[in-house]
Chains A and B, each alone.
Chain A
Amino acid sequence: MSPLIQVKNVTKKYGGLTANNDISFDVAENEILSVIGPNGAGKSTLFKMISSFTPTTSGEVLYQGERISNLKPHIVARKGVVRTFQETTIFKSMTVRESVVVAQHLRAKASLAGYFWGSKTAKEDVTAFGEYADELLEFLGMSEISGEQATNLPQGSLRALGIAIGLATDPKVLLLDEPFAGMNHDETMRMVDLVRSVRDERGVTVMLVEHDMPAVMNISDRIVVLNFGEKIAQGTPSEIQNNEKVIEAYLGSADDEIGM
């Protein structure tokens, strides 16, 4: 089976700084793949290139054999590759349910003019959006907070909201940007279960960037490790845990942290 996403020799340079250098790896369908690495390793940049939020300097990203890099984000989203953001990127003055309803934009069958005049298809869409929003929020265990304003939510719920918005677009691939950051152990474990159920029950392939090692080891099928913009390893969690280069990269950063 050919891989769902192929990252091919992707390089990103900002002036003299190389954020990503010649990175290649594949993502199989229905896989949970994590990209890890010390701070500044270029993980977020890589995600931005996959979702076309920033262009590559060279190399390309393929989705089902089609290039998705160097396009516009909304076009990549239309193809089914959708990213989420860290918790501050939300629709602040919308309720949880409103956010999930508006995020179903790609599922709309009626035209914008149809919504203006209130065509039959538009009315059906509106009903369908509402029903799907309720179903999705129940699936994510967010039914009780569906009427809350996004700004009033605690951090854990904001992450879940980010995932809900991403899922509302009906993606094939979901890119999660640090879904466990700032969470305590229990919250992290709940989120791990949630992400896994997104894959198992909705058939969504998941890629995530994360710092929380226990969570990454727990959730990932495979892991790609970046350091200073280079890919230094890839493999299953146990392979990565025993990889010398990875240990070296992380021990360096661990020393720094002790130094604090």
Chain B
Amino acid sequence: MFNVSAKQLTGVGVFLFAIFVGVPLIIGATGRWDFYFTLTSVALLSIASAGVWLTFYIGRINIGQGAFALIGAYVSAILVVKAGWSFWISLPAAGFFAALVAILIGIPILRLRGVYFAMITLVLTQVVTLTALALPITNGAKGMSSIPLPSGVSLFGIPILPDFAGMENTKLAFYYTACILMIVTYAALYRLVNSRLGHLCRSMQQNEELASSIGVNIAYIRIVIFAISSFFGGIGGAMFGSIAQSVYPSSFQVVDSVNFMLNCFLGGLGYVFGPMLGTLVLYFGWDLLFEFGKYQMLIYSTVLILIIRFLPNGLLSLRIGKGGDK
């Protein structure tokens, strides 16, 4: 199960080198420090997109990841600001809380298939936004602002994580943190997809009836997958809130949920690393089209439609078509 080819290993090595050494060097040379924030965003959004991709893997179209990102962001912010927790403990807590909410919501709605499930998830983001506006603990429309930067962590007096507030270059620190989180997420996702759980997901995606006839508890697996998916959403959202040092009900909106889904489509639903590429291309693509002013949306939408029409298996299918390894 661990048989990784030399080619794959090289690919991973080049990728890691590029993001941890290459990007900082280039940014240092060009002086485009704003790129750190862009790339950090891409890394975090691609974590949330990874979750959406996973729900696609059991044959469900999930347009509700924004809801779980928002939940994650609020949970982390509240724990840090109001309960005085360390950010590093609030981060997994945010993920687990999002997963818990996903389990509660998922039990009734995961029975639905196709467009019906998609429609319900589309509403989720709005529901969470309205809830955040209404609850006292989330400060309503004012949101949570001036969230302290992650503090240092030390175990038995040995510093493990530095104090972000005392740093000269928090942008770089956040960039590294986001990249590490993204890599851990995708490594876990890759492993999951290639383990038995992934095989069962594939069987469910292709035929739920047949899957249950061979003894797969499809209801249970659907819930597990939706919980993992939302965990990723919660983590991505929490990290985002920490970087922006603020969370508002509008931090993640329906359009973000739709973008998470588009990232998966664009990168390719058949490839684990599809959503990562999709997020990068979509995020930068939108920014690049800024020059076209009022035509930005028109061009953007047209290009998306063309890509989905002519590359239904996503951008990564191009690489496979050229005879690259999978």
Contacts and interface: CB of A to CB of B under 8 A. Distances in A.
Task: Tell whether A and B belong to one assembly.
Answer: yes
10 contacts: A77-B214, A78-B215, A101-B199, A102-B203, A105-B196, A106-B214, A106-B215, A118-B1, A165-B214, A169-B215
Contact of B202 (A84, A91, A112, A169): A91
B210 A74 contact: no
A126 interface: yes
A-B pairs, 4 with minimum CB distance: A77-B215, A115-B196, A115-B195, A106-B215
A121 to B, nearest CB: 11
B99 to A, nearest CB: 15
Contact of A105 (B192, B202, B214): B214
B171 interface: no
A93 B206 contact: yes
Given A102-B200, A105-B214, A106-B215, 18 more contacts: A72-B212, A74-B218, A77-B213, A77-B215, A82-B214, A89-B210, A90-B207, A91-B207, A101-B199, A103-B203, A112-B196, A112-B224, A115-B196, A116-B197, A125-B196, A165-B210, A166-B213, A169-B214
Contact of B214 (A93, A94, A110, A168): A168
A121 B195 CA distance: 13
In this complex, the interface size class of chain B, counting residues with CB under 8 Å from chain A, is: 20 to 34
Contact of B212 (A74, A110, A168): A74
A69 interface: no
Contacts, number: 90
A83 B195 CA distance: 26
Interface in B258-303: none
B120 interface: no
- Interface majority SS (helix, strand, loop, mixed), chain B: helix
B110 interface: no
B163 interface: no
A74 B216 contact: yes
Interface of A: 51, 53, 72-74, 77-78, 82-85, 89-94, 98, 101-103, 105-106, 108, 110, 112, 115-116, 118, 122-123, 125-126, 165-166, 168-169
A118 B203 contact: no
A98 B198 CA distance: 12
Nearest to A123: B1
A92 B214 contact: no
Interface string B208-231: 011011111111000010000000
A116 B210 contact: no
Contacts of B197: 112, 115-116
Given A93-B206, A105-B200, A126-B1, A116 B213 contact: no
Given A106-B214, A123-B1, A89 B200 contact: no
Contacts of A118: 1-2, 195
Given A115-B197, A116-B192, A94 B202 contact: yes
Interface string B84-122: 000000000000000000000000000000000000000
A102 to B, nearest CB: 5
Contacts of A89: 207, 209-210
Contacts of B224: 112
Contacts of B196: 105, 108, 110, 112, 115, 122, 125
